[in-house]
Amino acid sequence: MCGRYNLLRPWSELVALYRITVDPKPLNLAARYNVAPTQDVPIVRRVGDAGERELAMARWGLVPFWAKDIKIGYKTINARAETVHKLPAFRAAFRRRRCLVAADGFYEWHALSKSEKQPYHITLPDRRPFAFAGLWETWQSPDGTPMQSCTIIVTEANDFLRPLHNRMPVILEPEHFDDWLDIGRPLEETQRLFAPFSGDLTAWAVGRVVNSVRNDGPACIEPTSPAVTSREPIALPFSLS
């Protein structure tokens, strides 16, 4: 799954990286080291038939348009790649409302015991750009106020991350951004994007400061072990703090 991530790039870099063309007004986006569910996050989506892109803010935890209560969003921060196209909570958004969830890295926890978990930070080497495959939706509250929300699609973990967890977010590099946003692509072609990430990844253990959503600073990604790359599977346990 993907329950926390970070986004450190400033607004200007996001506009260039995601080729934002629709109303690219400056947004005061502070570096986020510990993004958590229910928070507002930047997403990139297509607008109009010309395929232009806009940067928007959406609440993490998708609330389907038909939902009676916003609380459903606590259960829909992630959508499984195997069923996203057919589950009622996601299928309408999958067909018509895809997005890129801007990110620089994400966290995963490895259980050391029933009461103790070690967090790890995972990213692409050399801070290469990527995005999570996501969906967005608009929901109206009982008083008629619209709210936009999103989810991150998860798939099977690759060999590198499997020692940590059996799932991982669907990672898209820039050459696949258009492929994901194109809702006219055949289903089987779109599903190929859901394969476990085959590119290089880097991971390192971090301190338990990241466990609390109240902590959102550089300490969240501070290594407590040497980084390892996907040239070989993670060997657990890491050197722990």
Catalytic residue annotation: 2, 108
Amino acid found at 61:
G
> Whose CA is closest to 17, among 137, 103, 125?
103
Query: Which residues are bridge partners to 108 per DSSP?
Result: 120
